[in-house]
Structure 1
């Protein structure tokens, strides 16, 4: 029994000892917190004298400033009263003189400044508009910037002769007007009749003559006709230049080498099921792919054919090279209507195998930056540029020539 009581007593004492230990730890924590709080209070108490002194100093400074302000206000009031009571004596020393001419406005000076300012403003506006204007507006501007000869100028046609064969269907000429362009002519004599009534046709004859006069030692037998960007009229120039050369007795082959966006077959309403692309990629007889208009025996047309997935690869092939060499030997003149230069390498691949390249530009539309880039690429590739054909030129003498031709044509009937 005694051991049990002793064991119980030890258990109770252990519990009491643990509780006492816990209380001691709590009291120690509280003691530390109180000591920290007491330290903060002591620190604040130590700062109170300094704050009290600073407060006293500020009160003294405020009192001094207030007294000084009151003195200044009093002195100002005294000076105002004295000034009001004092009379300043004055007298006219010399009578004012009246100017013979008004000082302002100075009309001559203002006129000179106005003329000078308006001149500067006009020059600045002209320079600003020139920077914004990125097209060619005249032949002089085109020739000065490109440093290339102008082989021909095609005027803005107001009235063109309507053809009678299927090749004389409507062709869209320029952006806003659809003209009935002349058909492939039956004879040079018939061509002369059309020339007398259209400066457009005469311009084509001049272009053809200028091309043939480029080299007397080595006649032009094949050439590339292209442009910097689409829409400048390269296909139209190719088609009617071929027509012109054929009408003047040449044996001409017109090849639609624009295998990306062919136009020749659309303009002339020809079948395009088989053409240049089929001839290169397949072993087809050339005779089955050529179109020979009966109205113009000297002209042969090879359309583009089906659009291939990679036209550049076809143009670089040995078969295309052989075709170009054989065509140049067979015909007096081979004209390739090639894709635009900017962004495409097709024309640059074909041009070295010909006698040169002709660039078609459109006055008022061809972008200067695009044409400059195209010329730089051609120069880098060492491709000879024969010259430029300016499209859409407004000839001031067009109406005079038309009247003169009509007068000469009417004289035999007089």
Structure 2
């Protein structure tokens, strides 16, 4: 079975796929709506004062980047989180709070992001800001953790010393410039220039140190200083649950699972379901037509072709009759055997309705119940089975007229099975059966034989090589492919001429049903209101309309 057939087969399970998709989506929506809303907010800190410096070096960025990573680790440790819990009076442990906090440096920056998730947006903001405050409070650069006054006095002393050094050096540079202006020898000039250059370098270094110390006094410039540059903002939309994403994902999963299940069902389902299964190369059976399920508890209800001339099923049998004529256009099949692979696949119903359709086309038709094991045609046509085929084959003379029973349908006669013999296969394969077939062809245009299933007994195979054509009835979603293949092999082995297959028990009607319903509804309206089915007009329609349609 090809992949395309598997994919087509999954269309039969469209309801399962749609239902699974809807159930998964709705279930996900209900579950998402019952989950608590989680809000997230973020406080951003800057490590160091790099942007306030006029002479930034690569080492500054490297150092503060490493510090940001260290602070990210410290943020989720016990000292910071416990202090936050105590400060805000939270009814939770610091371990529980840790599950709500995420801290990480922003790549390629000196920024540290502290994110907090909570069911309350206000509490999330309070926790994020408090963690940032506690981190600053407990950092080495915090004023509370420094001996600020002592260090300030030391810095002032250093500033005074640097001022004196810078002033002295600058005065010395002025003196050297004066000497340089009056110097005459090259050696003297070179020495003075060298001394001036050295003093200027010292002055520059002292000035840099002076500015750094002055910056410390003014802003406390240290590499590990923390500054809040963006406090936490009140979130208005929850980040979880993401209802739309959850529903889409659940629907996709439901669709995928249902589609996969449908593929598996098709893979393991070895039954014939459509005409495409008949025409695959591995089977190669011509499709003569499809028949829908026939409603009705009684066997007589199966004779749809007599009860409703305008039903889609009746039209399907007409189509089968037409296809039979086209398959044997060079040598018309006058004797046709109808059989199936297994019991209960609708061979007797097909044989009976096909005989009726042939008779409605003004063809003299005889249906022979050759199922000498489980005959049913006499029950369908409601005729006695006191005598029949077995009587003809066992009597000395082939008196067909005595065994032809009237069906109440013009041009249609039936030969019932008669008493059941102990040796059906031998009787059907006898020379007497061949003589009977020749005699029937003299008095009828079409002879239709209903035989037992092929795989059950050999009766059908014995008769199949004596008739002009064989029709194999396959029941949709019931007949297995291996059974069908086995039946075809047996028919080919005995040299039977196979006209094609009829797919029976199709759900939803056969092809053309919609058009035919539209067409025949108009015809029914025209003939409605007649006194009875036996009125002249009604009988004229019953005889002429099928011929016109053919």
Q: TM-score, normalised by structure 1?
A: 0.62
Go from structure 1 to structure 2 and tell me whether the alpha carbon gap of 1:262 and 1:114 turns closer, same or farther (over 3 Å shift): same
Q: Corresponding residue for 2:400?
A: 286
Q: Is the 8 A contact 2:407 2:413 kept in 1?
A: yes
- Cα offset, 1:400, TM superposition: 4.9
Which blocks of at least 5 consecutive residues in structure 1 are unaligned? 1-91, 108-112, 161-169, 185-193
Structure 1 residues 349-373: Cα deviation after superposition (integer angstroms, max 9, x where no partner): 1111111210011112222222121
* Residue 343 of structure 1, CA deviation: 3.0
- Determine the C-alpha separation between the residues in 1 that align with 2:526 and 2:304: 27
Q: Residue 225 of structure 1 contacts residue 336 of structure 1 at CA under 8 Å; is this kept in 2?
A: yes
CA distance in 2, matches of 1:213, 1:383: 18
**For residues 205 and 281 of structure 1, what CA distance do their matches in structure 2 show?**
36
Out of 278, 300, 306, which is 1:142 matched to?
278
RMSD: 3.6
Mean CA deviation greater in 387-396 or 251-260: 387-396
> In structure 1, what is the equivalent of residue 85 of structure 2?
none
3-state SS in 2 of match to 1:270: coil
* 1:219 counterpart = 2:346: no
SS of equivalent to 2:504:
strand
- 1:228: how far off? 0.5
Are 2:472 and 1:359 aligned? yes
- Aligned mate of 1:324, from 433, 437, 459: 437
Contact 1:148 1:388 in 2 (8 A): yes
Query: What SS is found at the alignment partner of 1:391?
Result: strand
Query: Residues 172 and 365 (structure 1 numbering): CA distance in 2 closer, same or farther, change over 3 Å?
Result: farther
Give aligned pairs, total: 292
Corresponding residue of 1:403: 518
Equivalent position SS for 1:253: strand
Match of 1:255, SS state, is strand
1:152 aligns with 289
Distance 2:303 2:368 in 1: 23
What does residue range 2-151 of structure 1 map to in structure 2 within 5 Å? 94-96=67-69, 98=104, 125-144=261-280, 146-151=283-288
Counterpart Cα distance in 2 of 1:172 and 1:154:
17
- Residue 47 (structure 1) aligns with: none
Residue matched to 1:386: 499
1:311 to 424, 431, 441: 424
Counterparts of 2:401 and 2:346, CA distance in 1: 29
Q: Which residue of 1 aligns with 2:298?
A: 171
Name the SS of the counterpart of 1:339 in structure 2.
Answer: coil
Could you say if the C-alpha distance between residues 100 and 388 of structure 1 is closer, same or farther in structure 2, counting changes exceeding 3 Å? farther
Per the alignment, residue 158 of structure 2 pairs with none
Give the deviation of 1:172 after TM superposition.
3.8
Aligned pair in 2 of structure 1 residues 212, 412: CA closer, same or farther (>3 Å)? closer
Give distance in 1, aligned partners of 2:447 and 2:391.
19
Equivalence for 2:135:
none
Shift of 1:409: 5.0
**Offset, 1:348:** 0.9
Alpha-carbon separation, structure 2, partners of 1:148 and 1:247: 27
Shift of 1:325: 2.3
Report the alpha carbon displacement of residue 116 of structure 1 after superposing the two structures with TM: 11
Unaligned runs of 5+ in 2: 1-64, 73-103, 108-114, 116-241, 243-248, 529-550
Instruction: Give the conservation status (yes or no) of the 8 Å contact 2:342–2:456.
Output: no
Q: Cα distance 1:375–1:100, how it changes in 2: closer, same or farther (>3 A)?
A: farther
- Given the superposition, is the C-alpha separation of residues 373 and 94 from structure 1 closer, same or farther in structure 2, using an over 3 Å criterion? same
Task: Look up the match of 2:368.
Answer: 255
1:343 to 434, 444, 456: 456
Q: Which structure is higher in RCO with an 8 Å CA cutoff and minimum separation 6?
A: 1
Q: 1:134 to 1:408 in 2, by over 3 A?
A: same
Which residue does the alignment assign to 2:212?
none
Which residue does the alignment assign to 2:226? none
